[in-house]
Amino acid sequence: MTDTITHVLFDLDNTLYSPESGVMQRVIQLIHQWMEKHLGLSAEEAERLRREYLRRYGTTFRGLYLNYGIDPAEFLHYVHNPWVLESLKPDPVLRAAILALDAQRYIFTNSSREHAERVIDRLGLDGCFDGIIDIAMFNYVSKPAPLAYEVALRTVRVPPEQCLLADDLPRNLGPAKQLGMYTVLVGKANPDGVADMTIPRLQQIVEIWPHLQRLAREQNGRQAPGNYVKGKS
């Protein structure tokens, strides 16, 4: 077994693109519309329930699926309307950074494949990824549920010690780290050392890549996390 990172899993929303793009705000707007229309909720009730499901299940969708038996494809198609991506533009710096990583690269997302493909297209990242691991592949559970990570590892067919997960949510990095993956937190502080390294923007992953590979070689099976933190730019 190699002692380096050979596969990188990238979260999609608010990781490939900046939260300042407004994409997720538009998705949340459509989630509210769907809940008000299909569940008969007021705007205030929809917001309260959305936040509760997000806290309990990791995504609003998972809570609706478990408690209301909604149709996954119909809901995801509605909230992933192409309109939500109108602010995204091609990002040649991000493209160059991703392609510079000497590893196989996958999208690992709680969103639909259709949405992931649109994001990739809007950002000009065609050809950057070896595959998409979407929510349908892990039976509509959501990160941070263990099944999602099990499916991801079965898909890439390497042990967790050879994988890196880059995600904007600390709660999604915790299970990956427990399995033995290396972790990069994008855009946030690093609470309780949940991530091996942090970067303000995903474009900077190419800058910390040598540090990540050195960390993997030194640990060769996972010990204490590194303490390298890329400063804000």
Question: What digits encode the pLDDT tens for the residues 176-186?
Answer: 999 999 999 99
Arithmetic mean of pLDDT over the chain: 92
Residues 14 and 43 in one domain: no
Alpha carbon distances (Å) from 225 to 10, 30, 152, 177:
19, 39, 22, 9
Of the pLDDT bands very low, low, confident and very high (cuts 50, 70, 90), residue 160 is very high
In a domain, 231, yes or no: no
Residues 12 and 96 in one domain: yes
Question: What length does the chain have?
Answer: 233
56-77 in b/e burial notation, b at 16+ Cβ within 10 A?
ebbbbbbbbbeeeebebeebbe
Residues 117 and 28 in one domain: no
Q: What is the mean pLDDT of residues 24-50?
A: 96
152-189 in b/e burial notation, b at 16+ Cβ within 10 A?
bbebbeebbbbbbbbbbbbebbbbbbebebbbbbbbbe
The enclosing domain of 110 has a CATH number of: 3.40.50.1000
The better pLDDT of the pair 39, 192 is held by 39
Of the pLDDT bands very low, low, confident and very high (cuts 50, 70, 90), residue 34 is very high
In a domain, 184, yes or no: yes
Q: What is the mean pLDDT of residues 42-66?
A: 93
Residues 166 and 140 in one domain: yes
- Domain termination site, one of 34, 68, 84: 84
In a domain, 230, yes or no: no
In a domain, 124, yes or no: yes
**Hey, CA dihedral for 116, 117, 121, 125, is it positive or negative?**
positive
Residues 138 and 102 in one domain: yes
In a domain, 98, yes or no: yes
* Cβ neighbours of residue 7 closer than 8 Å, sequence gap 6 or more: 103, 104, 105, 106, 156, 158, 162, 163, 164
- Domain termination site, one of 35, 69, 84: 84
Alpha carbon distances (Å) from 20 to 10, 69, 84, 189:
19, 33, 13, 17
Structural domain total, the chain = 2
Alpha carbon distances (Å) from 104 to 27, 108, 115, 127, 155:
29, 13, 21, 12, 12
Residues 135 and 57 in one domain: no
Reported as type and span, the H/E element at residue 80 is none
Residues 115 and 212 in one domain: yes
pTM over 0.85: yes
Q: Would you state the pLDDT for residue 220?
A: 61
* Cβ neighbours of residue 201 closer than 8 Å, sequence gap 6 or more: 18, 186, 187, 233
Q: Would you state the pLDDT for residue 200?
A: 95
**Hey, CA dihedral for 175, 180, 181, 182, is it positive or negative?**
positive
Residues 60 and 124 in one domain: no
- Domain termination site, one of 84, 100, 118: 84
Residues 200 and 169 in one domain: yes
Please write down the HEC assignment for all residues of 25-77. HHHHHHHHHHHHHHHCCCHHHHHHHHHHHHHHHCCHHHHHHHHHCCCHHHHHH
Of the pLDDT bands very low, low, confident and very high (cuts 50, 70, 90), residue 58 is confident
pLDDT tens for each residue of 3-17: 899 999 999 999 999
Find, among 217, 8, 224, the residue nearest to 102 by Cα: 8
Q: Would you state the pLDDT for residue 192?
A: 72
Residues 101 and 185 in one domain: yes
Does residue 191 have a pLDDT over 80?
Answer: no
Structure tokens at 210: 């040598």
Instruction: Name which of 52-66, 169-183, 212-226 the model is least confident about.
Output: 212-226
Residues 47 and 160 in one domain: no
The whole domain housing 97 covers 7-19+89-219
Distance CA(180)–CA(160), nearest Å, equals: 5
Residues 201 and 164 in one domain: yes
